[in-house]
Structure 1
Amino acid sequence: MIKQSYSYTDQEQVIWTTLYSRIIQFLPETADDMVLQGIKRIGFPADQIPDFEDLNKKIKTFSDWEIVPLENMVEDKEFIGMLASKKYPCRTWIRSLEQTEQEEDVYDIFHDVIGHTPLLTIPSYCEYLTGLGKLALEYLENDNAISLLKRVYWHSIQFGIKASKQTLKIYGAHLLSSRSETAYSLSAGVPKYDFNVAKMMETPYIKNRFQERYFVINNYEELFNSLDLVKKELKNRI
């Protein structure tokens, strides 16, 4: 069991509170209903950085996944192994006050906790995440295969959009923690495609700026059901 061994300054706690209050006002209008349900199920504290042990206790009531606190993100091979073992790495540090004021998108504890843990209460999503990890393990020494799988991961797990009641809602972890890219991704004129494994593998992921195209699922079962197609498409390409 993970023991909380991290202490945060008063300013860091204020940063969390600021980020959380901002996003929790934004998500009801933009996030998928199951994401919002996941946020309620986890019950994040509004005024302090969450305790990892407490988070895992709540996650365990809905899935057999857990988050693992780490100072820095692990390398690809270790990350893949963790996904296959139903463990999601979570950074322990939080962005600076300046980054918060400028609303920079940062991969920190806020992104990892708010972006990823609500989805760990959705069984079909968890099965998809595990399946991607296990598939990547089969190709661990093939850089081309890993690159293609990273694109699938990026465009579904980090930047995914879901069709909901004749409108579009976000579920991707990056979008859930980014007001600016969420507004951009949902706006008219920004390219959005039905969930398409082949096209995802052909679409490079872009860091440090908005994506050029986004992919839309109809339900989370569609993610899990795509795993055979991901495997087939991967074999065809390598």
Structure 2
Amino acid sequence: MEANKYYSMDQIHNYTEEENKIWATAYSRILNFLGDVADESVMIGIRTIGLPGDRVPNVEEINEHLAKHTDWRIVPLEDMVDDTQFISMLADKLYPCRTWVRSIDQVDKMEDEYDIFHDVFGHTSLLYIPTYCLYLEQLGELALTYINDPKAILYLKRVYWHTIQYGLIEANKSLRIYGAHMITSRNEASYALNAGVPKYDHNVSIIMDTPYVKNHFQEKYFVISSYEQLLASMDTIKSELANRLK
């Protein structure tokens, strides 16, 4: 599917000086924080994708960097697409990217907003990893086969949110963040890494039973050992889903 099915060239923004300053402020604050809490793959990805620190990035520049590592592209959109379109885009190796920029007040609150900073900084930082990309693609393809089953989509959305958005990873005996929401929310990342907050090994059955909550810290966080584990879990996701829908 062609990426330009979802947008026209007149939707691509020329950002104001103020918006570029907001991006630069958010970038600097998050980058300083991530060094102590993010998986090394995230930090490598920020450099690999060439995310600029002084301005809102140009989408085509990012896609040129991505093309050197995977065949995924990000697609600029004014508003987020609905579930069906989003799932179709994942299956087509396209990631939707909102074009609006959070306010400086939202940056100061250290919370996440689902804007271009979240979509680009949070999501593209791992889109250079083939294993991670294949997991996303297969999750989208599986969801397409159940697109008319709300119960199945609910379970798969939980899998997506508790891995891609809120995921934690244990690397070199250290607990780190890799989920996009965690990368762009200092408040929730700090909360999730706190020793007293419930954390579970990656378990598909428990994940499917665990609702996710937007605009609020999660009750449970799930920890993978590697991105290969995510991809390997697809067989379990398929069988668990089939069993629940019998």
TM-score (norm 2): 0.94
Separation in structure 1 between the aligned mates of residue 22 and residue 111 of structure 2, nearest angstrom: 13
2:157 to 130, 143, 150: 150
Deviation at 1:144, TM superposition (A): 0.2
The match for 1:182 is 189
Q: Which letter maps to 2:185?
A: S
2:81 to 58, 74, 90: 74
Deviation at 1:97, TM superposition (A): 2.2
Where in structure 1 do 4 or more consecutive aligned residues deviate above 4 Å? Answer: 1-4
The match for 1:202 is 209
Closer, same or farther: CA 104–170 of 1 in aligned 2, 3 Å: closer
SS at match of 2:65: helix
Tell whether the 8 Å contact from 2:111 to 2:186 is kept in structure 1 after alignment: no
2:92 to 77, 82, 85: 85
Tell whether the 8 Å contact from 2:12 to 2:76 is kept in structure 1 after alignment: no
CA deviation profile, 1:19-74 (whole Å, cap 9, x unmatched): 00001111111111111111110121111000000000001111010000000100
Q: Which letter maps to 2:88?
A: G
The match for 2:106 is 99
Structure 2: which 5+ residue stretches go unaligned? Answer: none
SS at match of 1:121: coil
Identity %: 55
State the superposition RMSD in angstroms.
Answer: 1.2
Tell whether the 8 Å contact from 2:111 to 2:188 is kept in structure 1 after alignment: no
Q: Which letter maps to 1:142?
A: D
1:8 paired to 2:15: yes
1:171 paired to 2:178: yes
Separation in structure 2 between the aligned mates of residue 42 and residue 99 of structure 1, nearest angstrom: 25
Which stretch shifts more, 93-102 or 226-235?
Answer: 93-102
1:124 paired to 2:124: no
Q: Which letter maps to 1:78?
A: Q
TM-score (norm 1): 0.97
CA deviation profile, 1:179-218 (whole Å, cap 9, x unmatched): 1111000110100000000000000001111001100000
Separation in structure 1 between the aligned mates of residue 104 and residue 40 of structure 2, nearest angstrom: 31
Separation in structure 2 between the aligned mates of residue 166 and residue 125 of structure 1, nearest angstrom: 21
Q: Which letter maps to 2:29?
A: R
Q: Which letter maps to 2:123?
A: H
1:40 paired to 2:55: no
The match for 2:231 is 224
1:211 paired to 2:221: no
